[in-house]
Amino acid sequence: MVWVAATLFLLTGYAFLIRYYDGHFKKLPLFSAAGYEPKTFVSVIVAARNEESTLPRLLQALSAQTYPPELVEIIVVDDFSTDGTATAAQTFSKVHITLIQPEVAATQSSKKRAIEAGIKRAKGPLLLITDADCIPGPDWIKTMVAFHEKKEAVFIAAPVRFTHDGSALQIFQALDFLTLQGITAASVAAQAHSMCNGANLAYTKKAFEAVHGFEGIDHVASGDDMLLMYKIWKAKKAGVQYLKSRDAIVTTAPMQSWRAFFAQRRRWASKTAHYDDKRIFFVLLFVYFINCWFLVLVLAGFWNVHGWLAVLVYVILKISIEWPFVKKVAAFYSEEKLMQFFPFFQPLHILYTISVGFISQAGAYEWKGRKTK
């Protein structure tokens, strides 16, 4: 019964961690921009590489914003696309687009270089950052700007949601991403550690320049979101905040194949070793160990029948620990129906976490036609 006892001990620690996130997500109030009178000029920056098919949908959503168009500029940075991305931006007629390109192509940190080029051209004191494959709601700009003004936020992490078509692949991604988004909201609200997603960010140009932008993190292929967030957090902790509002949600599509999904998550996880924020590093290490324990128990089951009992106890308890938290997050995103699939994907999620965490720290990978590491 040693295996069962060890499992109970580890999951007790995990339960405290999830309970911590659960409490802070629940306490984080919903924000409303009702009654806000727009007055801030904003620059929306979109770094795009080979997004010919998705960019027009984003531009259409930006043209339908409730924020006064005279207070918005849209800057599309074509990151040396090999398709018709530039043409898609130039031919969109419903709103004025400023199309630029970085001066020099980069094999490493290409997205950072593109965002930086956009910021240099930006006229607004507040920068809204999203991706070319995203769709914001009509009140997105209004809500982000209102939050910035009312809360004096200099860096805003905001919610992102995956669409899904009912397939196992897309439901799995949607549930996995819901969990990540819940942890993001809770951790930022609690000032516990730095988390955000580059698909939906806002920060002031002044804060970006005060920390010298991406200087010092420009050697890392990804990290244009979390690594920058931590730099700004070190400079002004109270100014880094999370915006919990359904009007601020940005929607994006999941990966269309398991291979593409693993490549995306590998890219996301590749920056882990570069975190200066050791708070999140140790949390990730603990969670990774908790997931690896499942594999240890499975292997132990081949030598001792109690190992299989521990596997059963592990899965049931892990689901029970995570369920209340993920359910609250799903309710915020109006995705409660996904919870019926949550228990069935638990073993797959554990194995995926172990494999992606391992391979993300070794070798180069390819993303949008570029090989990087």
Q: At 11, which helix (H) or strand (E)? A: helix 2-27
Given CA atoms 278, 322, 173, 115 in this order, what sign does their dihedral have? negative
- Render 190-258 in DSSP notation, one character per residue: TTSS----TTEEEEEHHHHHHTTTTTTTTTSSS-TTHHHHHHHHHH-GGGEEE---GGG-EEE---SSH
C-alpha triplet 373, 362, 265: angle, nearest 5°? 70
**How does pLDDT run along the chain (373 residues), one tens digit per residue?**
677 788 889 999 999 999 999 999 999 999 999 999 999 999 999 999 999 999 999 999 999 999 999 999 999 999 989 999 999 999 998 899 999 988 766 555 688 999 999 999 999 999 999 999 999 999 999 999 999 999 999 999 999 999 999 899 999 999 999 999 999 999 999 998 889 999 999 999 999 999 999 998 887 766 789 999 999 999 998 999 999 999 999 999 998 898 888 888 877 776 666 666 777 888 888 999 999 999 988 888 888 777 788 889 999 999 999 999 999 999 999 999 999 999 999 999 999 888 887 776 655 555 555 555 5
What are the backbone angles phi and psi of residue 269, rounded to the nearest 5°?
-75, -15
Domain ranges of the chain: 2-24+277-358, 29-267
Radius of gyration, alpha carbons of the chain: 21
CATH among 1.10.287.3510, 3.90.550.10, 3.40.1380.10, 3.30.565.10 for 29-267: 3.90.550.10
Place of tokens 């070793």: 273
Closest CA to 56 of 86, 83, 89, 81: 89
Stated length of the chain: 373
Separation between Cα atoms, residue 43 and residue 115, nearest integer Å: 12
Closest CA to 133 of 35, 49, 41, 28: 49
Q: What is the DSSP letter of 128?
A: E
Separation between Cα atoms, residue 76 and residue 100, nearest integer Å: 6
